[in-house]
């Protein structure tokens, strides 16, 4: 196999993974918007609005990286999987707890993606987004009064990552 073929195949794989991440970011924006009515304090509403804006920006950057493979909308399989949990949310703390967990999963997903991307631009994009997802988790955790030991782990790790095989794009 020529190096051009290997590079081309890596580009296709990176594009597909970028499209998956983009669809997860779009789903996250949808989830922030869907639960916004439960956020009654200014601090929670403002934090959620900023996080949602970051996710929109991440989705746009990943769409560029995905190129022709870019997702056309939120990851439907992920939204379907999370729908039963959404039915249980009835308070600000419920919504913040849900978003806190989701942000942790996204951080784990980017940690996982960094080891699966092959080209430097894709790894760099994941490495740029990963700490922002961690920041979101910390900010939401602070609103939930979580202890510092729960907010800042020694290692991010891949626990709870969103597996593209479990949430395939159409």
Question: What digits encode the pLDDT tens for the residues 35-89?
Answer: 999 999 999 999 999 999 999 999 999 999 999 999 999 999 999 999 999 999 9
Distance CA 24, CA 4 (A): 30
Higher pLDDT, 158 or 4: 158
Cβ atoms of 109 and 162 within 8 Å: the answer is yes
Question: Please, what are the domains in the chain?
Answer: 17-151 (1.20.1260.10)
Confidence band for 160, pLDDT divided at 50, 70 and 90: confident
Burial of 146 (0-12, 13-18, 19+ CB in 10 A): middle
Mean pLDDT of the chain: 90
Region of 168 please: left (phi>0), alpha (psi -120 to 50) or beta: beta
Higher pLDDT, 152 or 117: 117
Distance CA 12, CA 138 (A): 34
Question: What is 91-122 written as a DSSP string?
Answer: SHHHHHHHHHHHHHHHHHHHHHHHTT--SHHH
Distance CA 141, CA 1 (A): 49
Enter the pTM of the model: 0.87
Query: Region 19-36: what's the mean pLDDT?
Result: 98
Cβ atoms of 167 and 105 within 8 Å: the answer is no
Higher pLDDT, 2 or 20: 20
Reading the block at residue 140, the tokens are: 């939401």
């Amino acid at each position: 196999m020529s190096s051009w073929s290997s590079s081309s195949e890596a580009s296709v794989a990176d594009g597909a993974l970028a499209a998956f991440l983009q669809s997860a970011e779009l789903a996250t924006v949808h989830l922030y918007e869907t639960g916004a009515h439960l956020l009654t304090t200014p601090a929670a509403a403002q934090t959620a609005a900023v996080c949602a804006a970051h996710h929109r920006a991440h989705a746009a950057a990943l769409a560029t990286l995905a190129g022709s493979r870019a997702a056309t909308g939120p990851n439907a399989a992920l939204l379907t999987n999370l729908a039963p949990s959404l039915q249980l949310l009835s308070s600000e703390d419920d919504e913040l707890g849900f978003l806190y967990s989701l942000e942790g999963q996204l951080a784990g997903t980017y940690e996982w993606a960094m080891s699966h991307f092959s080209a430097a631009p894709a790894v760099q994009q994941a490495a740029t987004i990963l700490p922002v997802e961690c920041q979101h988790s910390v900010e939401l955790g602070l609103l939930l009064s979580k202890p510092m030991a729960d907010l800042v782990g020694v290692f991010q790790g891949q626990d709870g990552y969103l597996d593209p095989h479990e949430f395939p794009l159409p």
